[in-house]
Amino acid sequence: MSIQLFLIRHGQSVGNAGFRTLDHRTMPLTDLGRKEADELADSWEDTPDVIFMSPFQRAVDTALPTIRRFPNARIQFSDDLKEFTYLSPATCVNSTKEERRPRVDAYWKKCDPTYVDGADAESFKQLADRTHHFVEVIRSFPNWTTVFAFSHMLCITCIRSWIEHPELSLEERMRTFREYPFINNTECLRFEL
């Protein structure tokens, strides 16, 4: 029996909207993001066995209306689903995404899967390892038929790369990573495992 995995990006956050942010973990949704989360919850045709979510606030707040809609689903936080923090958070406090853009571009141009930018940052290898772990966890529960996972764009992209291209080396996975399509807020990608 196959498992239907739904990977869902969180609703619009204040960071997505271009505002200055203080903490990447507690960044809230905007009013639009909360509306998107409510509309998503109302749109589901499938009933989940389990709802996974990143512990970051914007993912939790996006998942809550869906959790309320499906009170019998098992609820599980997963650090595997947190956003890829590749720039040291201490160096990003009170900045906008546009202000971070030169550092973002430099990080991806460097294309070093083991590079760690500073305290509380992680390497691309760490992202790849934890997203691969998440896929293996889902595959290890054959009694689940439908899984919802609320996460973030870069994390979802890495999970997608494992599902669609498990044969890639770490270097190839990083080099091709930014070629994947942009994932909109509350967009859902569906995979059969």
Question: At CB < 8 A and 24+ separation, what contacts does 179-182 make?
Answer: 182/153
Q: Which residue has the higher pLDDT, 113 or 141?
A: 113
Q: What pLDDT is stored for residue 8 in this prediction? A: 98
Q: For residue 18, what pLDDT band results from cuts at 50, 70 and 90?
A: confident
> How large a percentage of the chain has pLDDT more than 70?
99
62-84, pLDDT tens digit by residue?
999 999 999 999 999 999 999 99
Q: Which pLDDT belongs to residue 119?
A: 86
Q: What is the pTM of this model?
A: 0.94
CA 117 to chain centre: 20
Q: Give mean pLDDT, residues 148-173.
A: 97
Q: How far apart are CA 2 and CA 12, in angstroms?
A: 31
The answer on pLDDT for 175 being more than 90 is yes
As a three-state string, the secondary structure of the chain is CCCEEEEEECCCECCCCCCCECCCCCCCECHHHHHHHHHHHHHCCCCCCEEEECCCHHHHHHHHHHHHHCCCCEEEECHHHCCCCCCCHHHCCCECHHHHHHHHHHHHHHCCCCCCCCCCCCCHHHHHHHHHHHHHHHHCCCCCCEEEEEECHHHHHHHHHHHHCCCCCHHHHHHHHHHCCCCCCCCEEEEEC
CATH class of the structural domain 4-192: alpha beta
By mean pLDDT, which of 9-23, 61-75, 134-148, 174-188 is the weakest?
A: 9-23
Q: What is the pLDDT of residues 83-138, one digit of tens each?
A: 999 999 888 888 888 899 999 999 999 999 999 999 899 999 999 999 999 999 99
